[in-house]
Amino acid sequence: MMIYNSLTRKKEELIPHEAGKLSMYTCGPTVYHYAHIGNLRTYIMEDVLEKYLRYTGLDVKRVMNITDVGHLTSDGDTGDDKMLKGAKREHKSVMEIAEFYTRAFFDDCEKLNIKKPDVIVPATSRIDDFIRVISALEEKGYAYRAGGNVYFDTSKLKEYYVFGDISEEDLAVGVREGVEEDENKRNKADFALWFTKSKFDDQELKWDSPWGYGYPGWHIECSCISMKELGEYLDLHCGGIDNQFPHHTNEIAQSEAYLGHKWCSYWFHVHHLNTDSGKMSKSKGEFLTVSLLESKGYDPAEYRFFCLLSHYRKSLAFSYENLDNAAGAFKKLLAKIAAVLKNAEQSGKKADEEKLNELKRSFDAALANDLNTSLAITALYDALKSDADDATKIAAVGDFDRVLSLGLIEKAKKLNEAEKNAEEDIPAEIAELVRLRAEARKAKNFAEADRLRDEIASGGYIIEETRQGTRLRRKS
């Protein structure tokens, strides 16, 4: 597979350290609130990537952290802890908040057909590892103590801003607008590894450490969890584009200082879901969650389809109009698959393996080229339009859906069942009108056919002509 590597800013062939295997780390959610659908765009695209890599035959091991401590509201190490904010908002303990929103996150993932990672690690379960790695960084001279906290000394690195598109001037934490400078830092880019003193004293979760009673910084958790679960050489690290700096930049600084060699080969970043007012967030505008979309009548798979229609390296504009367009196209796609499925089942034929492989090749080629999901969807439409027989088309749909995870066959089956049930319930007089209309059409008496269609409509049924034949459904 060719994949865009944010580190080198080039498309490169993805070559794992160990042939046939691939280690994958994805930054998990901060569980202080529900995930918004922007966060979930990132997890959907990571899910497609993981499933595609498995589809190509790789044995993927995927690890994800759950951030339940240390993620501050400001990148400058001076804000409130997001978890504490959540706990105060809901008058609950931090652990209650973490448990509730971790479950809510995985419920959302399930609705969106996002597979659970192989290993999921809450940050609070690995405090001993964080302390061990921070102590080693201190021994190696990469960390210093100041004002009760421990900081990473970025001046000790040959290169700190490793992601090419970050300019020091624009992004240095200490000079960003709205970011308060932390006086303890020797260099403005330094970042906290361990806090014993911060702006807020009521931090609920604290642990004993060589530096006093306190808690870890956010960045150290991903470095430690990844190195412990996936070893010293990580193949692929993923996250949203905003994680590139400072989070991933700091992960690289710590991990490579600790290991003494290059750590991760490929960095995959998903661009943002935006609204009219910019990047989607939990505090600005309507708080868009999966449950909200469901309450408005959308199937979560329609949101997944909406995401797959765009490339992960482009920002995606969310509006209900855009979502409606995707949802409409998805419904049509399902109706088409349902019709093909019905014919395939009736024919009792088996898929033509040679033809199936041909269809698979164009699907595979789309994803092999930097995960081009919209082209992969085009390959799906092309397969349905192709000269393959229906059994082969259905085999292709089932195969592609191993990666797309839109529940295509299952949903098409349900449509067919619903149609069958509706047909069986059709009152005799409507069935008779349908029969008469078919006769009128055969005799090219279209005026009579139209009249009968209207009569059927006043009886509560809608008749539709599709390429697969006439369909009758009850008016909703």
Q: By C-beta, is 27 or 48 nearer to Zn ion?
A: 27
What does 222 interact with, of Zn ion, ligand AMP, none (CB < 5 to 8 A by kind)?
A: Zn ion
Q: Cβ 30 to ligand AMP, closest distance in Å?
A: 4
Q: How far is CA 52 from CA 55, 58, 221, 311, in A?
A: 5, 9, 27, 15
Binding footprint of ligand AMP on the chain (CB under 6 A) = 27, 29-30, 38-39, 41-42, 67, 239-240, 242-243, 270, 272-273, 279-280
27 binds Zn ion (CB under 5 A): yes
Binding segment toward Zn ion, per CB under 5 A, in 19-27, 287-295, 390-398, 454-462: 19-27
Torsion of CA 4, 9, 12, 18, to 10 degrees: -90
Q: Cβ 46 to ligand AMP, closest distance in Å?
A: 8
- Is the Cβ–Cβ distance between 27 and 251 less than 8 Å? no
Window 207 to 246, contacts with Zn ion (CB under 5 A): 222
Tokens at 411, concatenated? 């949903």
Q: Cβ 148 to ligand AMP, closest distance in Å?
A: 26
* Distance (Å, whole) CA 241 – CA 247: 10
Other Cβ atoms closer than 10 A to 178: 7
Residue nearest to ligand AMP (CB): 240
What does 455 interact with, of ligand AMP, Zn ion, none (CB < 5 to 8 A by kind)?
A: none
Q: By C-beta, is 270 or 433 nearer to ligand AMP?
A: 270
What does 273 interact with, of Zn ion, ligand AMP, none (CB < 5 to 8 A by kind)?
A: ligand AMP
Q: Cβ 25 to Zn ion, closest distance in Å?
A: 8
Per-residue DSSP letters for 126-155?
GHHHHHHHHHHHHHTTSEEEETTEEEE-GG
31 binds Zn ion (CB under 5 A): no
24: helix, coil or strand? strand
Q: By C-beta, is 237 or 304 nearer to Zn ion?
A: 237
Question: In the block, which residue shows the tokens 């969807």?
Answer: 377
What does 111 interact with, of ligand AMP, Zn ion, none (CB < 5 to 8 A by kind)?
A: none
* Distance (Å, whole) CA 405 – CA 115: 9
- Is the Cβ–Cβ distance between 115 and 101 less than 8 Å? no
**Helices of type H across 296-407:** 300-308, 320-347, 353-368, 373-385, 390-404
Q: Cβ 465 to Zn ion, closest distance in Å?
A: 53
Q: Cβ 102 to ligand AMP, closest distance in Å?
A: 11
Binding footprint of Zn ion on the chain (CB under 5 A):
27, 222
